[in-house]
Structures are given as C-alpha cells and as structure tokens.
Amino acid sequence: MPSVVGLLEQRELGARRRVDELREEADRVQAELAVAERESKEWAIARSRVGEVLAPADEPVQDHARADRTAQAAEERTGETGQVPEAAKAKSQVPVWREGLDRSVLSVDYQRILEVLADRCRLGQGPLTCQEMAALFGMDVVPARVEALRSKAKRLVARGWLAEPAPGRFTPAAGVSGQGGGS
C-alpha cells in the first residue's frame, strides 16, 4: 500500500505539470496574439495609405489627418511604439529584440534569465544549461522546472534575446548583453 506522503507527492507533481503546461500554452497564445495585432496594425496602415493615394487631389487635409489618427490608434492598441503594455508584460509576451529595446519590456522571469546570463558573460564564464540556471535561481532541479526554464530560454532564442551556441547551452545574443542600463 502506498504511503499518504507518496500519494500527495504524486498529486503535487501532477498539479505542477499541469501549471507548467498551461503557462506554456498561455505564452504560445500571447505570441500568436502579438503577431495578429501586428498584422492588424499593418492592414490599418495599408488601408489608410491607399485611401490617401486614391483620394482626389483637392480633398481637404483633414481627411489625411483622420487616416493618420486611425494608424496611430492601431499602433496604440498593439503597443508597437517600442514599449510593451503593462498587461502584456504580466502575461510573459516576448517581443523580438532590436537595437535599443531594453529588457525591462520582458516579464520578471525572462529578465532574470537575461540578467544571470549577462552577468556570466561579463565575467567571461560562458553559457549556462537550464539545470544550472534552475540551481542558480534556487529552484528544485526537477524536470518540470528545468523544462519550464528551457521553454523560456528557447523563446528568448527565437526572439533574438539569447543565443544557443551549443544544444542546451544559452548565452546572451550578440548586442543584447552590451545594452546600457538594462542588460
């Protein structure tokens, strides 16, 4: 007969796995949402530009201003001004890295990963594995935690924040660790 503590540990492990799966699903949905919002903004801008081109030459200037406001409204809805809205940060949205984008646009978990890897880079210590990161963060080095970190690290690689010079070993991407103030 199994022990009560053993049964509880099994249930706890199952619950942790479910939480990790749901977090990964939420991150995937957030990434898809960001792409869809960006596409929506691009279509709104395209529509306003076509409207400008097709408008009669003697059309009042105020209609052009209205088209520009439509494009600006689309930009504000999608947060494409270089800053990620606070609501998006709480949901772990990871924007594509570009010059001048500070890591403060990322959620705390992603910032923590970047910070520890940037520190290692500054000290000349080289890439880290997800198991090593979990240990540095004081987490239990169990498959669920390591896989959650790996998922985040891979997402950062895909968005240009990290590099993976060898399979499973992560380091800041070129240019990211050299940012002033944020990295």
- pLDDT tens-digit map of 60-76: 444 444 545 554 554 55
Backbone angles phi, psi at 128, to 5 degrees: -120, 150
Nearest to 116 by CA among 170, 175, 178, 154: 170
8 A C-beta contact, residue 149 and residue 140: no
* Side-chain half-sphere CA neighbours of 98 within 13 A: 6
- Where does residue 90 rank: exposed (0-12), middle (13-18), buried (19+ CB within 10 A)? exposed
8 A C-beta contact, residue 39 and residue 73: no
Report CA 103 to chain centroid distance, whole Å: 10
Tens-digit pLDDT string for the chain (183 aa)? 679 998 999 999 999 999 999 999 998 898 889 889 889 888 988 888 888 888 776 554 444 445 455 545 545 544 544 444 444 444 457 888 888 888 888 888 899 999 999 998 889 888 999 999 999 999 888 999 999 999 999 999 999 999 999 999 999 998 886 444 443
- The answer, as to whether pTM is greater than 0.85, is no
| Domain at 95-183, CATH from 1.10.10.10, 3.40.50.720, 3.40.50.1000, 3.40.630.30 | 1.10.10.10
